[in-house]
Every structure is written in C-alpha cells, then in structure tokens.
C-alpha cells in the first residue's frame, strides 16, 4: 500500500497493481492505488476543516453512476468528519444519497471533498472513502485519509530548508540529506505531542530502532531555530 503524507507532502512510492475496476482515484494529479493512504498533519486547535479533494476517473467504455461511501475505521471522540458529493452531507451520513454520472473515459475532479474537524482533540482518525458504481458496488475505488492532530506548539516558525530523514517509512535507521556543517539537534514527538527522543546529530545516519512502530513528528533545530519539521513513520 502506498502512503502519501501531507502538511509538507511527501510522496512515498511503493509497488502495487492497479485493479481492473472501472474507477480510478487521483490526489494532486497523482494516480492512487486501491486503499492508498494520505496523511494529513494539522494543529489540534484547528476549528476549520481539513479538506481532501479527490478526482475520480471512469476508464470504462460506459457511463457510470457513482456514489460515495464513508467508512470510519478509527475516529477520535469529539472530532467531526463529513463529505460532499453533489451535496454536502451531515457527519452521520455514511453513503451518499445522490450520484454523479461520469461519462466513459472522463474524469470528475471538482465534486468530492472529505472534511475533518479536530475541534481541539489530539490523535489520529482514519477514514476510508469508497467510490462505487451504484449499479455494481463491486466496481469501486477507495482511498484512506489519515487525519493526525497534534498539540498547539509543535508547528512553529520553520525555515523549511528541505532537510529530510529518509527512508520514510523507516524500519529503524534513518539518514539525513545534508552536509553536517553546524550543530544540529533532532527532536521526535509521538502522536500526542510528547517528546520521545532528543539527540545531537553527529553524523548522517541516525538509529531510531528504540522507537516502536507508529506515526511521529520530527524537527531539526540549529541554535534553537527550527530548520525543518515533518512526519516520520516507523514500520518494523
């Protein structure tokens, strides 16, 4: 399964085979595989919606009447999520009552929005959006939105020097894509905003094997100035 991270969006390629279904999904013009994940990193104090907009393509030779189903895989209590397809639905609606006809070999890139409101609550909510032929529900395409809300303060003024840890996801050893000329400090936070690792960067290879699997946030500082921050995924 391919994972796509956003806030600062990192596209992490993987191997997958596209199904023979008639529908395909795109995010930021990139073709998604079935159940690919998009990660959204946001401030928990955010009371406005975090949006995901998707394009839906019909690659078949026939017109398809497409509906949308929302599946709440895991949702943080107190948050709210909804979606728009023809119309914007209440958070309690799981399947659209309306459909959109997508002509053969055409794409709809404007009508779908997924919305997530953290409303002051920390944690990770996971929601699947499935687009399906209303006359043949098996003919479908889906993606998973992972909404990650962090405490106020993790997102500070960042110089955005494009310093990255890689590979990401990592199984334990991560590397830095820069020449070490100055004293740098790495800080890693868990999904609740607690710092779980802090160390001076002495070389370009960093051992993170002591950390369990999960989604983390890291920042790299130079003389107390934040040079970069981003999401880090550890998979073992």
What pLDDT sits at residue 159?
52
Q: Would you say how long the chain is, in residues?
A: 236
Q: What is the pLDDT of residues 93-133, one digit of tens each?
A: 999 999 999 999 999 999 999 999 998 888 889 999 999 99
Confidence of residue 176 (pLDDT cuts 50, 70, 90): confident
Q: List domains and CATH numbers for the chain.
A: 3-150 (2.60.40.2310), 165-234 (2.60.40.10)
Percent of the chain with pLDDT strictly greater than 90: 46
The two counts, helices (H) then strands (E), for the chain are 0, 20
Q: Which residues of 6-38 are buried (b: 16+ CB within 10 A; e: fewer)?
A: bbebbebeeeeeeeebbbbbbbeeeebbbebbb
Considering 84-88, 153-157, 193-197, the range whose residues carry the highest mean pLDDT is 84-88
User: Taking Cα atoms as reference points, which of 147, 157, 155, 167 lies closest to residue 217?
Assistant: 155
What pLDDT sits at residue 82?
97
| pTM to 2 decimal places | 0.67
The phi-psi region of residue 67 (left if phi > 0; otherwise alpha if psi is between -120 and 50; otherwise beta) is beta
């Amino acid at each position: 399964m391919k994972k796509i991270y956003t806030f600062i969006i990192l596209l992490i390629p993987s191997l997958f085979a596209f199904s023979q279904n008639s529908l395909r999904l795109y995010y930021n013009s990139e073709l998604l595989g079935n159940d690919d994940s998009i990660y959204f990193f946001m401030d928990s104090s955010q009371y406005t919606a975090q949006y995901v907009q998707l394009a839906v393509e019909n690659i078949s030779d026939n017109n398809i009447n497409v509906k949308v189903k929302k599946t709440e895989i895991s949702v943080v209590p107190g948050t709210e999520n909804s979606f728009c397809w023809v119309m914007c639905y209440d958070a309690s609606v799981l399947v659209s009552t309306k459909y959109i006809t997508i002509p053969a070999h055409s794409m709809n890139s404007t009508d779908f929005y997924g919305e997530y409101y953290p409303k002051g609550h920390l944690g990770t909510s996971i929601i699947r959006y499935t687009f399906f032929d209303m006359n043949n529900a098996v003919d479908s395409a889906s993606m998973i939105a992972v909404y990650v809300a962090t405490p106020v303060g993790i997102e500070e003024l960042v110089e955005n020097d494009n310093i990255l840890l890689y590979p990401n996801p990592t199984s334990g050893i991560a590397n830095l894509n820069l020449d070490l000329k100055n004293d740098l400090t790495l800080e890693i936070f868990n999904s609740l905003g607690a710092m779980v690792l802090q160390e001076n960067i002495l070389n370009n290879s960093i051992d993170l094997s002591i950390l369990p699997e999960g989604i983390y946030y890291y920042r790299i500082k130079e003389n107390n100035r934040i040079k970069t921050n981003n999401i880090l995924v550890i998979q073992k």
